[in-house]
Structure 1
Amino acid sequence: MSLGRTKAEAMVKDILAPKAVADVVDILTSGKPLPFSIQTHASNKGNRKMFPLTVQYFRPETGICNKMLDFGENADESAAGIMDYIEQSLDKFGSSLDQVTAYSADNTNVNYGIHNSVFTNLKKKQKGLLEGNCHAHIVHNTVKHALDQLSVDVENVVLKVYGHFSTSAKRRESLKEFCQFCDVEFREILRHVTTRWLSLNPAISRLMQSWTALRSYFISLGEECPRQIRALLKLSEASTEEDADNVEVYLLFSNNILSLFEDVVKKLENDSTTCVELYSIMSTFKQKLAQRRDDQFYGYLTKVKLQHLLPHDADRARADFTAFLNTAISYIEKWFDFTEDNWLFSLQPLSLNHGMLSFSDTERIINKLNLIQKVSMDELYDECTTANSILKGLRDSAEDEWKSKDVAARWVALFQVANLPNMLSIISHILSIPASTGYVERIFSRMTNKWSDSRNRCSVELIRSELLITLNFEQSCSEFYCSCLKDKQLLSAARSDKKYTYKRK
């Protein structure tokens, strides 16, 4: 099948995109309104500043859902400008701030400043609003601050080495020859992008796989070796391949410790991770850093290499590694509240890891989040008793399968068995709060794919419509086809000439 450009664009912009939004709005507003959180982010497309607006909500039939509500251009990046954009979008689709449980965005002053920010402005209109800031951003910034404690600028080493080989095919071929001579498999040097959270450690790993050949190559250049690279790699005129390599020790330590940071970021940005698990993830992460510091464990390969350094070089390296861990722990403690006063601490029992949920834990959560008006406490007590008996049966019947389920899937399994309206009201509120900004950030990757150089004449409205269709319709092609055949209103609109803008005018 094929359509002319005019008809295809009209179908996308005036038929399918409005349906993609209407289906989401119907779920949020029809019957008993569902609580939902809102997420925003900003990214440049040339000299344009693009803002998506997404929502997260929980349904007992499907679990946690992330959908895009709007996508537009907004040159005003002030708190007031973003606030107006959010309010206008919600008003346009008939949603209310009263349903919003949390505001999730980047950890910038414009979003979460103390006096004048998007969050403080929203909280004036929605008193119960929670701060759903991005904890993956905190972990990323922790790495940035901690790396400053090392005597070797690891990040700059990666950037300079990549830059040296990325601009010359001759240099790349020379490195191939050195790899062959050193009996090392040649691997392409990976690029590190400073704004991408997970690109540094793979780039370091790739350097370490060819480190012997790389170091030999730069030593062989002699005076022709770039001065900055010579300084970064600590290559003197008398350096040989057999000399103890201080830089390698720092790279090995970075490779080892950054794997820990990488695992945490991946957990935080996983679609199945919920706010219920945030406190546990961050607390475990801090404990692992403290344990490494107390045990003076910097990685086994790092330990082996330290034994080959001069005593004063080895002592200085150990002091740097300890300073790295101390700085990382201090930074995390500054930006994440590890006390029991943190509202995330009280949510931990809702993970159902032990298959039980006490009424006292539920009461504590309700008081902490001020949800007392949403539930009947007497009915909730009976529901907790019923839920525990069902949870015990679900866990005992298939314990391994239960452990493999994520938090949202466990609650879906419970609600499929029993009608627990008060419990559902609490869980719908809490599981609507995002664990990170991963979903809204991935929209920009999709935007880049759709708004490519070969499609640079696309309008903002067309890209918005394509993103809405891509993100909000989750059916397969055959399922979508069958649903369209049953939707008489959609078919009628598609046949009508009103889908063309110029004919409507």
Structure 2
Amino acid sequence: MAVDLVYWFKGSMKRKAGLEEFCQFCDTQYLEVINYVQTRWLSLEKAVDRTLKLYTSLASYFKSNNDSQARFKRLQQLFSDPMTELHLMFYQATLPAFTNFNLLLQRQSSTVHLLHKQMHLYIRKLMSKFIKPEKIKDVRVSDIQYQSQEIQLPDSKLTIGFTTRVTLNRLLEGGDISQTQVKKFFAGVRGFFCEAVSYALSRLPLDEPVLQHATFVDWHQKMEASIDDVLFFVDRYKHLLPFDSPQDQDKMQEEFTDYQMMDDHEVSSRQWKEIKDAEDAEGEFLQTDKLWVHLSSLKNEVTGRPKFLRLIKVTQLVLCLPHSNADAERVFSSIGLNKTDTRNSLHGTLSSIMTIKMAASEPCFKFEPPAEVLMASRRATSSYNKAH
């Protein structure tokens, strides 16, 4: 549907003008139809939201016009079917669960220490939409027989979104849809959730030991962690963490215990404000790398040496582990934007461009050179002008 809808209006000012007239008639704001692109991971939710905002106008447009093209016929049939809007509303209510987890994987700050917990929470959230809560609580997600009808919720309690439920009841009471269509809709909902859970269980590394043991890095999970989590990385990366002697491990135990016993007030409010993740609007996650930069600066009051000398080394290694391939995908995308068919002879220049772009923390138009760089540039310019 999304592809047909976009390509029907794409490149045709006449069709766009016609849709704009129907938007004015239906008292809705005219907006461009958004295309769903599989390589753009978050485009589906935006495409669905935009289609629903224009739904009344789009339905009027296709019901009021005639065209012999197959694409128009398909769209006309879809917008004449009241079930189309129900399916879009269901997607609008359900997709945020996928989008939020996707955003976690796309964070630029390290989140490898969060993945084990968040993967399980994500699957439980999906299951809670169609499975009885008591069948999910205190049970490993991989052991839940989610396809069994006995533990699934009845149709009246399936999580399909409040707006979807109200619209469904209104259409059924008004005779616009039949009871058979309703049963088919709920069967599709169950199939959708079962397939989503099956895909997540088969693709997500729920039992990956690296992710299980990396949780000690997280300030909020430190009390549930143990020294074994730290020693797992010492044993796995012996060539990078030479702390396998009994004396070193005893010191590591002391440092880890001190870390666990730390309270929130030992980090100032100003530092907590800096540590808060700028990508997280709800303040649920912290920029753990900045937190550990602060912890690395703490000194032992007696010896004056770093308080977490060994623990910091292990933490630095954990935070360097990639949590997804999002960064690599961004690099490939940036290369594709810079090296094009008409700009394909960059040679060493492309490497320099990518180095600058990957090192930049903000867009180039916001970059302000330091005063020292400006002064050196002026001196160099003056010297060049005098010499020529």
- Structures share fold, TM-score greater than 0.5: yes
Give the superposition deviation at 1:363.
4.7
Find the counterpart in structure 2 of residue 226 from structure 1.
Answer: 69
Report the Cα distance in structure 2 between the residues aligned to 1:451 and 1:289, rounded to whole angstroms. 41
What are structure 1's unaligned runs of at least 5 residues?
Answer: 1-156, 486-490, 496-505
Amino acid in the other structure paired with 2:191: A
Q: Among 286, 292, 299, which residue is 2:161 paired with?
A: 299
Q: Could you tell me whether the CA contact under 8 Å between 1:256 and 1:298 is conserved in 2?
A: yes
| Alignment match, 1:326 | 194
Change (3 A) 1:378 1:255: same
Distance 1:359 1:484 in 2: 53
How much does 1:225 deviate?
A: 5.4
Counterpart CA distance in 2 for 1:184 and 1:474 is: 39
The 3 A distance-change label for structure 1 pair 385 and 360 is closer
CA change 1:398–1:177 in 2 (3 A) is: closer
Q: 1:386 to 1:191 in 2, by over 3 A?
A: same
Within 5 Å, give how 1:73-84 maps onto structure 2: none
Instruction: Give the number of the structure with larger relative contact order, counting CA–CA contacts within 8 Å between residues 6 or more apart.
Output: 1
- Match of 2:8, SS? helix
Alignment of 1:480-499 (within 5 A): 481-482=372-373
The Cα of 1:170 is off from its aligned counterpart by 0.7
User: Does 1:313 pair with 2:181?
Assistant: yes
CA distance in 1, matches of 2:234, 2:222: 22
> 2:293 is matched with which residue: 403, 412, 421?
412
Distance 1:465 1:366, change over 3 A: closer
Does the CA-based 8 Å contact 2:90-2:161 persist in structure 1?
Answer: yes
Cα distance in 2 for residues equivalent to 1:400 and 1:430 = 21
Indicate the residue corresponding to 2:24 in structure 1: 180
Q: How does 1:12-51 map to 2 (within 5 A)?
A: none
Equivalent residue number for residue 347 of structure 2: 460
Gap change, CA 1:358 and 1:414, over 3 Å in 2:
same
Kindly state the Cα deviation for residue 285 of structure 1 after the two structures are TM-superposed.
1.1
Aligned counterpart in structure 1 of residue 252 of structure 2, from 375, 380, 392 = 380
- Shift in Å at residue 389 of structure 1? 4.5
Aligned to 1:119: none
2: CA distance, partners of 1:186 / 1:474: 35
Aligned residue in 1 for 2:324: 436
Q: 2:126 maps to which residue? A: 289
Query: Gaps spanning 5+ residues in structure 2: where?
Result: 132-156, 172-176, 277-282, 300-305
Cα distance in 1 between the residues matched to 2:191 and 2:356? 49
The one-letter amino acid paired with 2:200 is: I
- Would you say 1:479 and 2:365 are equivalent positions? no
Deviations, residues 308-352 of structure 1 (Å, cap 9, x unaligned): 13211111111101110100001110112434x643122223211
Give the fraction of aligned pairs with identical amino acids, expressed as a percent: 23
Local SS of the residue matching 2:297:
helix
SS at match of 2:129: helix
Q: Deviations over 1:60-84 (max 9, x none)?
A: xxxxxxxxxxxxxxxxxxxxxxxxx
Task: Tell me, in whole angstroms, the C-alpha distance in 1 between the residues paired with 2:202 and 2:292.
Answer: 33
Find the aligned partners of 1:231 and 1:413 in 2 and give their Cα distance. 60
Could you tell me how far apart the structure 1 residues matched to 2:360 and 2:188 are?
51
1:267 to 104, 129, 134: 104
Distance 2:39 2:88 in 1: 20
Counterpart of 1:3 in structure 2 is none
Structure 1 pair 392–252 and aligned structure 2 pair: CA distance change class (3 A):
closer
- Structure 1 residues 396 and 472, CA, compared in 2 at 3 Å: closer, same or farther? closer
Deviation of 1:457 after TM superposition, in Å, equals 5.4
Residue 41 (structure 1) aligns with:
none
Partners of 1:167 and 1:173 lie apart in 2 by: 12
Quote the offset at 1:473 in angstroms: 6.1
What is the SS of the residue equivalent to 2:183? helix
More deviation, 278-287/327-336:
278-287
Distance of aligned partners of 1:310 and 1:249 in 2 relative to their CA distance in 1, 3 Å threshold: same
The aligned counterpart of 1:9 is: none
Separation (CA, whole Å) in 1 of partners of 2:112 and 2:371: 32
Shift of 1:166: 0.5
What TM-score results when the alignment is normalised by the length of structure 1? 0.57
- Structure 1 residue identity aligned to 2:77: K
Q: 1:305 is matched by which residue type in structure 2?
A: T
Task: Give 1:235 deviation, angstroms.
Answer: 5.1
Which residue identity lines up with residue 309 of structure 2 in the other structure?
A: P
Establish whether residue 344 from structure 1 lines up as the match of residue 225 from structure 2. no
- By how many angstroms is 1:415 displaced? 0.8
1:394 aligns with 2:269: no
Assess, with a 3 A threshold, how the Cα gap between structure 1 residues 280 and 450 changes in structure 2: closer, same or farther: same
Identify if the C-alpha distance between structure 1 residues 268 and 463 changes in structure 2 by more than 3 Å, giving closer, same or farther: same
CA distance in 1, matches of 2:350, 2:268: 49
Letter in 2 for 1:285: Y
Residues 484 and 286 of structure 1, relative CA distance in 2, 3 Å threshold: farther
Residue matched to 2:140? none
Q: Distance in 2 between matches of 1:259 and 1:435?
A: 21
1:369-400 Cα shifts (integer Å, max 9, x gaps): 46596312111112223334455552587897
CA shift, 1:440, in A, is: 2.3
Asked whether the 8 Å contact 2:227–2:253 carries over to 1, the reply is: no
Please say if residues 343 and 369 of structure 1, whose CA atoms lie closer than 8 Å, have aligned partners that are also in contact. no
User: What secondary structure, in the 3-state scheme, does the structure 2 residue paired with 1:412 have?
Assistant: helix
Q: Whole-Å Cα distance in 2 between the matches of residues 274 and 235 of structure 1?
A: 42
Indicate yes or no: 2:9 matched with 1:165.
yes
Deviation at 1:202, TM superposition (A): 0.8
Distance in 1 (alpha carbons) for counterparts of 2:348 and 2:95: 41
Q: What is the letter of the counterpart of residue 298 of structure 1?
A: I
* CA distance in structure 2 between the partners assigned to 1:302 and 1:225 by the alignment: 33
Compared CA separation, residues 452 and 414, structure 1 to 2 (3 A)? same
Matched residue of 2:116: which SS?
helix
Contact 2:255 2:311 in 1 (8 A): yes
* Residue from 110, 113, 119 that aligns with 1:276: 113
